Amino acid sequence: MTELNAFLTRERIDPTHEGPLSGRTVAVKDNISTRGVRTTCGSAMLAEYVPPYDATVVERLREAGATVVGKTNMDEFGMGTTTETSAFGPTRNPVDTGRVPGGSSGGSAAAVAAGEADLALGSDTGGSIRCPAAFCGVVGIKPTYGLVSRYGLVAYANSLEGIGPFARTVEEAAELLDVIAGVDERDATTREPETTPAGSYADAATGDVDGLSIGVPTELLEGADERVVEAVEGALSELEAEGATVREVSLDSLSYAVEAYYVIAMSEASSNLARFDGVRYGPATESEGNWNEAFAAVREEGFGEEVKRRILLGTYALSAGYHEKYYRKAQDARAWIAEDFDGALSEVDVLASPTMPVLPPELGESLDDPLQMYLIDANTVPVNLANLPAISVPAGESDGLPVGLQLIGPAFGEETIIRAASALA
Ligand code: GLN
């Protein structure tokens, strides 16, 4: 069997208690802090970094009886859509090892798809859970912003990202969400759901979609590969056959989402990654006492090309004179997108689209053209801009490759998307 390179560190972290996840193995993305176990973020900058504390989600896993089996490969600091920007080499897609697993949480999705872990945690800033779930044929949930603690998650773009589960079935993903969700005093952005779940998220996986109304934004179908559209339409027909209604809706703001997302994500990244200066984190260099040179040298050596590109662009977008032109406009677009979603979700229960507009690319195919790579995030990034929950669920295959259906719900409407998706997997 070809080595998938799903894990960067294989190390067992034992549970502290018995609980609902006793006997279950969980793989954890390598940007989630694990006490005493190296946490690299897929970067040479943190190749030797060992956190002194556990992320809240890791603490909750251990209290729930789960056994962590290792830390998974990822695009460097979460910046990518294929897991190829990792400083430790790409992960392969277990469905077709010549193809990428998606990203940036590619290692977590591949580990679950290949049966190397029962469950996994990833993080999603602009699609990094949903994309690899779609490409590897598993389930991935991006929770509402604030439902799951980010304490111990190494920040890339903190206003957009969150931690969420992967599993082979919707019910198992929901069980993992039950364990990690909830207010955390160490993350002031966590919130109590406005409507508390009736039982548990897992209980919502009833498979019952009778009476559910589904809206399909035309903007998220346009430009998608025909083979993807066909599989997604097949899944929607299945839901209709079980009593759901499907209709087209339109959200004009969505055509600005990729531009807005990349301006905001890169701006936040340029600020968040300033801490990697060779003093607090990163390899030591010979500095001869010149701070600027030492700082530059460690960042030259420690960061890969994609990370450098984003720090430069983000710094530019935030600089005096350009701030109004780029950052401010991106924030306006973000507000418009959130409003548009609110409007659409007051008319239908959930919105549906292909998770990714393309089938999994071949390894190496998308690296030369960063813009092309950014554009394939068109269907996932709007959800992060609007702080909403979404799930990617297998919608069948095309040419032997998995296709994902994305279902988007209202804020803290995890139960609705779990219920809808559970009719399919
Ligand atoms: N592909 C997107 C990016 O590179 C999303 C990544 C993510 O969600 N971490 O920013």
Q: Is 304 in the pocket of ligand 1 (CB under 6 A)?
A: no
Percent of the chain with pLDDT over 70: 98
Do 236 and 282 lie in one domain? The reply is no
Q: Is the model's pLDDT at 352 over the cut of 70?
A: yes
pLDDT averaged over the chain?
96
325 & 267 share domain = yes
Distance of alpha carbon 183 from alpha carbon 164, whole angstroms: 15
Whether 261 and 130 share a structural domain: no
Shortest CA distance to 164 belongs to which of 109, 98, 216, 117?
109
Whole-angstrom distance, CA of residue 374 vs CA of residue 369: 9
- 340 found inside a domain: no
Ligand 1 pocket residue status of 122, Cβ below 6 Å: no
128 is catalytic: yes
Residue 6 above 60 pLDDT?
Answer: yes
The confidence score (pLDDT) of residue 196 equals 67
In a domain, 316, yes or no: yes
pLDDT tens digits, 367-408: 888 898 999 999 999 999 999 999 999 999 999 999 999 999
Indicate whether 72 and 99 sit together in one domain.
yes
Q: Which residue among 33, 43, 86, 104 is the active-site one?
A: 104
pLDDT score at 204? 96
Domain boundary among 276, 302, 333: 333
Ligand 1 proximity of 79 Cβ (cutoff 6 Å): yes
Answer yes or no: is 58 within a domain: yes
Domain co-membership, 215 together with 177: yes
What is the share, in percent, of the chain residues with pLDDT greater than 90?
90
- Rounded to an integer, the average pLDDT of 150-165 is 98
pLDDT at residue 2 tops 70:
no
Q: Which of 279, 303, 333 is the last residue of a domain?
A: 333
Give how many domains the chain has, as a whole number: 2
- The pair of structure tokens assigned to 104 is 């940036």
The confidence band for 288, taking pLDDT boundaries of 50, 70 and 90, is: low
| CA 47/CA 4 separation, integer angstroms | 20
- Nearest atom (ligand 1) to Cα of 80: 4
Of the pLDDT bands very low, low, confident and very high (cuts 50, 70, 90), residue 366 is confident
Cα dist from 286 to 275, 312, 327, whole Å: 19, 24, 36
What range does the domain containing 143 cover? Answer: 7-247+350-421
* Average pLDDT rounded to a whole number, residues 279-300: 83
Same domain, 80 and 190: yes
Tell me what the mean pLDDT of segment 74-102 comes to: 98
Q: How far, in Å, is the centroid of ligand 1 from the Cα of 32?
A: 16
14 and 147 share a domain?
Answer: yes
78 CA: nearest ligand 1 atom: 9
Ligand 1 centre distance from Cα of residue 125 (Å): 5
Residue 165 covered by a domain: yes
pLDDT at 35 over 80: yes
Alpha helices in 224-360 (DSSP H): 226-241, 257-272, 291-302, 305-318, 329-345
* 11-38 average pLDDT score: 98
Ligand 1 centroid from CA 81, angstroms: 6
Please give the Cα distance from 210 to 207 (Å, whole number): 9
Q: Is residue 153 located within the same domain as residue 261?
A: no
Closest C-alpha to ligand 1, atom 2 = 126
- Is any ligand 1 atom within 6 A of the Cβ of residue 209? no
Q: Of the residues 43, 108, 123, 128, which is catalytic? A: 128
Query: Contact 148/163 with Cβ under 8 angstroms?
Result: yes
**pLDDT at residue 1 is higher than 60:** no
Is residue 43 situated within a structural domain? Answer: yes
Alpha carbon of 46 to those of 31, 319, 325: distances in Å? 10, 28, 34
Give a yes or no: residue 187 inside a domain: yes
270 catalytic per annotation: no
Residues 297 and 197 in one domain: no
Question: Is the minimum distance from the CB of 257 to ligand 1 under 6 angstroms?
Answer: no
Judged against a pLDDT cut of 60, whether residue 362 lies above it is answered with yes
Residue 182 confidence (pLDDT): 95
Nearest alpha-carbon partner for 29 in 44, 37, 21, 39 = 39
Residues 303 and 394 in one domain: no
In ligand 1, the atom with minimum distance to the C-alpha of 306 is 4
Exposure b/e, 40-73, CB count within 10 A at least 16 = b: bbbbbbbbebebeebbbbbbbbbebbbbbbbbbb
pLDDT at 256 over 70: yes
354 shares a domain with 291: no
Q: Does any domain span residue 345?
A: no
CA terminus-to-terminus distance, the chain? 27
> Is 325 annotated as catalytic?
no
Which one of 308, 333, 358 terminates a domain? 333
Residue 282: pLDDT band (50, 70, 90) is: confident
CATH code of 404's domain: 3.90.1300.10
What whole-number distance in Å separates Cα of residue 289 and Cα of residue 260? 40
* Catalytic pick among 29, 142, 267, 398: 29
Does 344 fall in a domain?
A: no
The pLDDT tens digits of the residues spanning 179-224 come to 999 999 999 999 988 776 778 999 999 999 999 999 999 999 998 9
Both 179 and 316 in one domain: the answer is: no
